[in-house]
Amino acid sequence: MGRSLPSNIEAEAAFLGAVLIDNKVIEELPIPIRPEHFFEPVHQRVYDRVLTLLDRNAVVTPVTLKPYFETDEALKELGGITYLARLTADGQGLLAPRELAEQIYDLALLRELVTVGRTLVEGALDTSEDVAPMQQIEEAEASLFKVAEGAGGQNEASSFSAASHKALGLIEMAINSGGNISGKTTGLSSINQKIGGLHDSDLIILAGRPGMGKTSLVTNIAFNCADRYLRDKADGIEETVGAPVAFFSLEMSADQLATRILSEQAGISSEALRMGKISRDDFQKLSFASQRLAELPLFIDDTPALTIAALRTRARRLKRKHDIGLIIVDYLQLLQGTGRANDNRVNEISEISRGLKTLAKELEVPVIALSQLSRAVEQREDKTPMLSDLRESGSIEQDADMVWFVYREDYYVASKEPKRPIETDDQKVHEAHAAWMAEMERVFGLAELIVAKQRHGATGKVRMRFEARITKFSDLADDDIRGEYDEG
């Protein structure tokens, strides 16, 4: 005798009866019950109609439901319209509507698990196609994540009403934050003003040549976002623009990243920290900074040579365990594909960029991925990066919602230092070095964030200050920023 799917028709009937007696029961539920959570198709249709009528501010009773079900053939088999009246006959559901709702929800998740398991078994037994066990494992992980998030069985398409409601919520958040942020904060006002914050489901590519400060900038953003979340929660603010952050560092170790953040917060040179050349006062500052950062919701995964599939699996687990709201990947070219496209680097990078965009949409969080630039920049007189400089694949630009470039002119000016004059040198040597010193003073510590692509608004430049000693980016002072902000 075959086993039936997990269900409790009597609990569904009792819950529907409670809702029809007192419509406010739905407002007090600990979990959102949807029509597809019911096992009995008639109950699904009844509950769907209940929600529709409540959305119109109508009172829902067996009498008001009657016109919608007079021709329902399946309901006739249960007794017709009188079945709706029987649902409210004893009122047993009113004794424990929350518990009934939880049981209906839990049984729906179990049925979804059965579906996932059956699909997984069928896929694993089917060897008629190319065998790709890692892909099957990732798909299973994704399906289980949806079940864990309660997303199993949702409609694939969102109504415009639901989408516009979410959009209005983001606009309201932007208004409440002072008109600058409708997503997660970067902690830098100049960037927030330009992009409106980091938006959920967006893939942001941050690119630059070595030495420009890409890792420093995303480390600053990671700390700022996690710290804002921590401070808002301590202040009892629920609608925070901060979030727990997952930082996948394929290049640096976790302790190296932690050293950078400690250096920034304590105001001590990161080089001095690595060498141990600090005073007792500096060590005390470091200790205070460490204590303050102990609760920071910043999770660092420094596993080397991750595949895009493994990264997505780890990100889902962090989302489930810690509700992360921002993912950072340092950097894209160090990720590996599934193996099937590894013989073609362009195809592999395309697979990785698509995978990161899919991850951003699946988890509904912004993903910032660092990327290298080609050497073509170094061969031009004007070193300012452009979209065509993105290395190895045009799909990076195509998949990204935003593309940022970090550019520091002082890096290139410093490399052009002429001969340092001595007393016996010709006057031209002294003048050349003096001119270089003047130029270096003009650009020293200035950095540009070039927004080369943005789906949500204008492109352009944002100028910031960069303190190389503690690898920290900050907004320019009001006197410095005047005339420096480019609307694009």
Q: What is the 3-state secondary structure (H, E, C) of 35-95?
A: HHHCCCHHHHHHHHHHHHHHHCCCCCCHHHHHHHHCCCHHHHHCCCHHHHHHHCCCCHHHH
Q: Residue 404's pLDDT band (boundaries 50, 70, 90)?
A: very high
Instruction: Label the pairing between strands 245-249 and 203-207.
Output: unpaired
Highest mean pLDDT among 206-215, 321-330, 404-413, 428-437 belongs to 321-330
Encode 463-487: b = buried (16+ Cβ within 10 Å), e = exposed: bbbbebebbbbbbbeeeebeeeeee
* Nearest alpha carbon to residue 269 among 474, 472, 470, 468: 470
Letter for the amino acid at 355?
Answer: G
The Cα 422–Cα 31 span in angstroms is 78
Sheet bearing 326-330, strands edge to edge:
298-301, 245-249, 326-330, 367-371, 203-207, 402-407, 446-454, 460-467, 472-475
Q: What is the mean pLDDT of residues 328-339?
A: 83
**131 pLDDT exceeds 80?**
no
Poorest-pLDDT segment among 239-243, 245-249, 394-398, 450-454: 394-398
Do 454 and 437 meet the contact criterion of CB atoms below 8 Å apart?
no
Percentage of residues in the chain having pLDDT higher than 90 = 11
**478 pLDDT exceeds 90?**
no
The Cα 247–Cα 285 span in angstroms is 25
Poorest-pLDDT segment among 36-45, 309-318, 385-394: 385-394
Q: What is the mean pLDDT of residues 37-59?
A: 85
Domains of the chain: 9-151 (1.10.860.10), 183-403 (3.40.50.300)
pLDDT at 130: 64
pLDDT at 378: 76
Paired tokens of 266: 């304590």
Paired tokens of 174: 């932007």
**156 pLDDT exceeds 80?**
no
SS3 (DSSP) at 462: strand
Q: Residue 481's pLDDT band (boundaries 50, 70, 90)?
A: very low
**Average per-residue pLDDT in the chain?**
80
Poorest-pLDDT segment among 15-24, 157-166, 197-206: 157-166
Instruction: Label the pairing between strands 472-475 and 460-467.
Output: antiparallel
Poorest-pLDDT segment among 199-208, 259-268, 315-324: 259-268
DSSP 365-411: S-EEEEE-B-GGGGGSSS----GGGBSS-THHHHH-SEEEEEE-HHH
Poorest-pLDDT segment among 74-78, 161-165, 349-353: 161-165
Encode 102-113: b = buried (16+ Cβ within 10 Å), e = exposed: bbbbebbbebbb
**488 pLDDT exceeds 80?**
no
**367 pLDDT exceeds 90?**
yes
Check residues 236 and 488 and name the one with the higher pLDDT.
236
pLDDT at 246: 93
- Extract long-range pairs of 473-476: CB within 8 Å, 24+ residues apart: 473/188, 473/213, 473/216, 473/217, 473/220, 473/447, 474/188, 475/188, 475/189, 475/190, 476/190, 476/446
